[in-house]
Amino acid sequence: MKILETSLPGVLILEPRAHDDNRGFFMETYHAQRYASHGLDWNFVQDNLSWSRERVLRGLHYQINNPQAKLVQAVQGAVYDVAVDVRRDSPTFGQWTAAILDEENHRQMFVPGGFAHGFCVLSKEARVYYKCDALYTPGDEGNLLWSDPDLAIDWPISDPILSEKDQSNPCLKDIPPGKLPMCIRP
């Protein structure tokens, strides 16, 4: 497995090894001991799978008091995956990083707890699978506007399909400090 650092400490791009032959390929999408040997010794407790159409943008979402670390992978199609540091006491607060995850490159993005996460679909459809190290906690949700001008995220689409909820998310500067997570890990 190859691990690539991003511009944000803790957010990593992982390239698991795929074994290709004339039948297709096989790969381990997660191996606790192997990932732990690279410092990713998380106890994942929830797996999620989403299916989305082209131009759908999901996010940017986070949990306030029960932050979730996520290991994200597009198992079908292609997505532009984004992580934004929303930890109010972080030196990289308000900074973002992104990567294209698709069924061809098999890349995964590791997003630590305390980061807002979202993605937009670049292909006709996409299935995104991700593991979380904390359970979803209703009422602990935080949301950030995908098009926040202060963040200036370089999304590859300009007219995304959004949920009703995501259309009215606030800009980062308008979120009270008590509605943002603290750093939980370096």
Instruction: Please measure the distance between the N-terminal and C-terminal CA atoms of the chain and give it in whole angstroms.
Output: 22
| Residues composing the chain | 186
CA torsion angle for 135, 138, 143, 146 (degrees, to 10)? 70
Handedness of CA 5, 18, 77, 61 (dihedral sign): negative
Q: How many CB atoms lie within 10 A of CB 140?
A: 16
Is 61 a residue of the active site? yes
Active-site choice (35, 61, 62, 136)? 61
Backbone angles phi, psi at 35, to 5 degrees: -65, -40
Is the C-alpha dihedral spanning 7, 178, 171, 57 positive or negative?
A: positive
State the catalytic residue, choosing from 35, 62, 80, 130: 130
Residue 35 annotated to the active site: no
CA–CA gap between residue 113 and residue 183 (Å, rounded): 8
Cβ contacts of 130 within 8 Å, gap of 6 or more: 47, 48, 70, 71, 72, 73
Q: Which residues are catalytic?
A: 61, 130
